[in-house]
Amino acid sequence: MTGFKRLTIRAKLISIMSFTALLALLLASLALAFNEYFSKQQDTQKQLVITGDLVAWNAAAALAFNDVKTAQELLSRFQHIPSIVSAQLYDNRGGLFARYDAAAKSQSPLEIQQLFKLILKNPKPSPAPGYSDGLPAWFQEWFNQAASADSTLLDSKLYQPVLIKQPQSIHLIRPILLDDELLGVLEIEDDQSELYKLLQRFYLIMALIFVTSGFAIVLISTKLQQIFLAPLLQIIAAMRSVTYQQNFSQRISALGNDEFTEMAQAYNNMLDEIQERDHKLAKQRDSLEIEVKARTQELWEKNLSLNNAIESAIGARRHAELANQAKSQFLATMSHEIRTPINSVLGMLELLNKTTLNTHQTDLATTAYLSGQSLLGVINNILDLAKIESGKVELNNDTFNLRTLIEDTVAVLAPQAYLKHLDFILAISPHFQATVIGDPERLRQVLFNLLGNAIKFTDHGEVTLKISQRQAQKAGYVQISFEVFDTGVGISPDKLQLIFDKFTQADGTITRQYGGSGLGLTISKQLVELMGGELSVKTQPHQGSCFYFTLDLALVNPAAEESSAASLATDTAACKIDPALIQKAQHPQLTPQPTSVKGVVLLVDDQILNQKVGRYMLQDLHYQVEIATTGLQAMQAIQNQHFDLILMDCHMPEMDGFETTVLIRQYEADQGLTAVPIIALTADVQSGISEQCLQAGMNGYLSKPFNLQQLESTLRQWLAQSVI
């Protein structure tokens, strides 16, 4: 304190201002650091609990049927999660049922007796060992609540999941129950070293920001102290001038309403009688200098504020771009990881239906296949919605026959209407023909959603798709109006604004009569808007609904089809229901399968289940199949044997399908061989994947999961000239 008293006023002011600002910055930095630490810890633990729930749910069947192999395969999937270093699955007697170890850095598993004690629920559970030892009681209670596994799906009166933190890892102890009966215990060890490295980088950045801000604060404090000291130094200088130089012409200008002003006024009054004229001139000069300084300081502060705002905006934009990239990567990963096993499930069920089964077995297999198709539809809707919201949807410009697309869509949905004894009507002129340019798959998706909803919400009566055509205002385009009528339940007026919201239906209760995810209308509305239209609805409760939209589509042959559109727009008698399509909708018939062709196909896929499904499907279509697990094996196979077609998985370890295709095309060019058709197989449905396949040298693209009809259609397309 004595040293501070000896400092000059300038040094004291700088010290006080700098200390105050640095203290506030330090407190804010500490708060941000603590928040980042606990947020990262909580996110990591919640993700671990969700993973444990999924594994425990799948492991229940293996424990119930004592299926060690399935349990071991289930735990081996942890190799795709780098942070999980070990997992143990115990039965209800404490015996080790299955085990997974990723690396030597995993710590020793906990004693089994301790695990069974921890998962028992107590009225006042004690804190999990290792979490906050040595901290105050109130902090321990708060910390353990923040780190608890409250995000688990487990609902039991007797057992609870437990998280145990060790120096470098977190253990999740998850009971596996069946009807509240303990089947076993799952222990998962999650490595926290990467999290700590991330936090260390964050703390280093915070420290650099703190040091940099400290220098800036000291610099600004040095500048600001001049505002306070200027009046005092001016008075001291005037007094020295009078004392030592006998300069009675120096005056002090008005400084404000503080004590410095009173001192200056007294000094000026003392010298007024000596040189009043000089005093006025000096006052004006000093006033002008002070005003210039004030304006300069104000301009500097505004420039500083503007620079800070610009830096903040640039940082926010960078964060948004990084978040958008992370979301796109997440969508691509989830699409591949979810659609790959569904491909195996649907493929096996489709093949099972083609075998000899009794009536009950056929019903079970058919139900499972339809459920899988329903699940695939929900997944596709969620992925489509995410891509639309992130702006990743790009419309294709393909040439297609609009009438054929409409009739194919009606034919697919006709059996559903037939089973509900509904009249399924397509109101379209017999002379309607339009070859247009647009995105046929997105248009088919919109019509499929609208017609599917109409059939689902109609118990009796009819469902009608009305198509009308007229000339568009823009030359070379045709305006097509789509209207979907039904005689179903209708929508109440207070629900009209909600039906286009995602995950929303008019009847949102848990006991609602009709199922569905509530995404169909949301996706349809946004797709129609992307195509340049607007989806609207007219409805009355208990009388039915009408969803309608209009699109302007480019014509392939504008001269011929614009005249046709003009005649159809004025000829109302031409817009009649097509009797052939009505008969087709009321009595749907299965299209007979054509005779399969012969050929040798190389299937390149690293997944055993996908290999099995592909082999069975190709053999069922009477093709000879050879399997390659890696890209290197595929290269060896084409060097030793001729293949009529190659089915290439895009995502494989070591060398993916794109690199393999490039090497195959290079080998064919070097050897002067005819290029073998290569069809890409992938569960990645992100925009741009088809262009990536074509750039690598592939001929086509088949998205997983696919069925026999889609596979056969693709094979016929590329083998038609060489095989059929």
Tell me the per-residue pLDDT of 190-226, one tens digit each, with 9 for 90 and over.
887 777 788 788 888 888 888 888 888 888 877 776 6
**Nearest of 108, 687, 91, 179 to residue 441 by alpha carbon:** 687
Calculate Rg over the CA atoms of the chain: 38
**Nearest of 723, 652, 671, 659 to residue 697 by alpha carbon:** 659
Q: Which two tokens stand for residue 99?
A: 């085990």
Give the chain's residues under pLDDT 50.
123-135, 147, 149, 508-513, 515, 569-596, 723-724
- Identity of the residue numbered 168: Q
Rounded Cα gap, residues 479 and 552, in angstroms: 4
Confidence at residue 632, expressed as pLDDT on a 0 to 100 scale: 92
Confidence at residue 559, expressed as pLDDT on a 0 to 100 scale: 63
pTM: 0.40
β-strand partners of 116:
none
Confidence at residue 153, expressed as pLDDT on a 0 to 100 scale: 58
Confidence at residue 643, expressed as pLDDT on a 0 to 100 scale: 93
Rounded Cα gap, residues 62 and 69, in angstroms: 8
Q: How far apart are the first and last CA of the chain?
A: 100
Interval 79-117: pLDDT, tens: 888 888 888 889 888 888 898 887 655 555 667 777 788
Rounded Cα gap, residues 281 and 293, in angstroms: 19
Residue identified by tokens 């559970």 is 125
Q: Which two tokens stand for residue 280?
A: 């006025």
In the three-class reduction of DSSP (H, G, I as helix; E, B as strand; rest coil), residue 678 is classed as strand
Q: Are 561 and 400 in contact (CB under 8 A)?
A: no
% helix / strand / coil in the chain, to the nearest 5?
55, 15, 30
What percentage of the chain carries pLDDT values higher than 70? 74
Rounded to the nearest angstrom, the gap between the alpha carbon of residue 464 and the centroid of all alpha carbons in its chain is 36
Q: Are 514 and 457 in contact (CB under 8 A)?
A: yes
Rounded Cα gap, residues 165 and 49, in angstroms: 13
